[in-house]
Amino acid sequence: MNNMESPEYMRMSLAAAMTLGFKEGRFYRGATLPCVNLLLTYDEGCVGACSYCGLSRKREGDYPEKSFIRVSWPTYETDDIVDKMLEKKDKLKRVCISMVTNKKAVHDTIDVTERIRAKTNLPISLLITPTLLSREDLVNFKKSGAEMIGVAVDAVTPELFDSHRGKGIKGPHRWEKYWEVTGQALEIFGENMVGVHLIVGLGETEREMAKTIQKVKDMGARTHLFSFFPEEGSKLEKHPQPPAGQFRRMQFVRFLVDECFSTEGEFVYDENDRVVAFGLNEEELNLLTDLGTPFMTSGCPDEKGEVACNRPYGDSMPGPDIRSFPFWPKKEDLEKIRRELETY
């Protein structure tokens, strides 16, 4: 027992620790992170058993030392973190507090949110664990100062959710509960104030992913898309990343649906349920591709509506094969993206 537990302590992404000056380092290609990503921490850890997650109870090692999204999440005193946010406020546009599946997390999420709200004006997102929550909890989250909610559904069919997160892996999470809480969060926080996380590459078809992105849009939420990126020590550590072409098409689908350029019903699929047409003419396709925006990280926005939670290299290694761009893609990036979009 190290007693460095929430709410007095929080884990922080390595990227956020660099942004706040707790750690030294530089980002590949000059990327910046304007969102502080925090994670509740407990000696007993998370009771989830998700197949792809570094925090799974089934992964060997002490919880405070477990990596998450393939990087370390160092632990700091919560009050020190808030003080650093004040010091670096000109660099910051949002803070996100992530729950884990631990019964103490509901109370502690409110505690940490109130501490941050008391001292800063930063917009606060909560990445919640629906398994633990009632409608009243969501109301209390809003009262404490949070203004956006994230729900990591991740897998896009009931069968895949069950096999990666639920009964199929002896985990506590249930598909119906996640969508129920997503709907409640929308009622309480409002349209476009809920982001649903979906992971490309957990065994779904492109049609299944596109239909789920449309479902999220129809509910009034937005999709935050990730490329599967295997975590060492997780059950899926040997599972490959999805092909670049598949991820690029799903990024483009998300952009078209969320920004109301197309609906899922306008897409054309081949015999393997891969998207072969997006409901656009060639001029529209080229124009929207050249924006670069569809292939940037999708996440909670800043006050101007631009993505604040850009998670630099959260779903790919720094290098030539960036999946979610944390900055505007350059001309050579877009040329590569166009080739990938057409690769099957």
Highest mean pLDDT among 155-159, 228-232, 311-315: 155-159
Cα–Cα distance list, 50 to 5, 46, 215 (Å): 22, 10, 23
DSSP track, 238-283: TPPPPPHHHHHHHHHHHHHHHTTS--GGG-EE-TTS-EEE-S--HH
Rounded to an integer, the average pLDDT of 87-102 is 97
Integer Cα distance of 286 and 294 in angstroms: 12
Give the three-state DSSP class for 86. Answer: helix
- Is the preceding peptide bond at 7 cis, omega within 30 degrees of 0? yes
Alpha-carbon distance of 60 to 1, in angstroms, equals 16
pTM tops 0.95, yes or no:
yes
User: Residue 210 — φ and ψ, nearest 5°?
Assistant: -60, -40
> What's residue 190's pLDDT?
99
Tens-place pLDDT, residues 16-69? 999 999 999 999 999 999 999 999 999 998 999 999 997 877 656 665 555 565
Tell me which residue has tokens 């559904």: 153
Dihedral of the alpha carbons of 18, 301, 294, 194, in degrees to the nearest 10:
120
pLDDT value of residue 308? 98
Q: Which CATH architecture has domain 9-242?
A: Alpha-Beta Barrel (3.20)
Cβ-Cβ contacts under 8 Å for 150 (sequence gap 6 or more): 96, 125, 126, 127, 128, 194, 195, 196, 197, 224, 300
What is the model's pLDDT at position 60?
62
- Residue 182 amino acid letter: T
Across the chain, where does the E strand assignment appear? Answer: 9-12, 35-39, 75-77, 94-98, 124-128, 148-154, 194-200, 222-227, 268-269, 275-277
For 229-258, write each residue's pLDDT tens digit: 998 889 999 999 999 999 999 999 999 999
